[in-house]
Structure 1
């Protein structure tokens, strides 16, 4: 899971994976969890909280904790703010509306 992270000098959100149908997270012994979506979903996983990420000024300040913080999303907006350069292109813009998102969480135990 740590290989999903990009060690930016100034820490920021990263590692989102799109169009995911399932993912597993296990410890070295093979125990963990499998998450599967009824529809493709986005996810990111890291060993620090959003608050720790926001407070860190350098990547070395992020100390991995003992748990995985899993973030799931139905959709993710594309990049661009129009502050410097173009805004988000229309086909990547999120519009407000209802969405259904369902998962099956399965514990994994290695005997």
Structure 2
């Protein structure tokens, strides 16, 4: 389950980082953000990517976990790019749901 958590948290992290950029805010039809909120999106995205790394290391060990995380980053990045291309207005809600599912999957794997 923690492998799945890595993918889901990575996707949400990339969306958070993307929404810190003006172009992607326009695509998602969000109101213009001030610099403080942009920093908040960057911090949230970075935090989610670090959580994804922690989940990967927990699932696979340190050396394989980092390689696994990099592979999941590639898949999550493609998914994020496709979402911004084909359904940009739904990207924020999808990231919230997927991020929540990722946290639950990680906690389920952590407890099990």
Structure 1 and Structure 2 fold alike (TM over 0.5): no
Q: Which has the higher contact order (CA 8 A, sep 6+)?
A: 2
Larger Rg: 1
Higher helix share: 2
Structure (1 or 2) with the greater strand fraction:
1
TM-score (normalised: structure 2): 0.26
Q: TM-score, normalised by structure 1?
A: 0.26
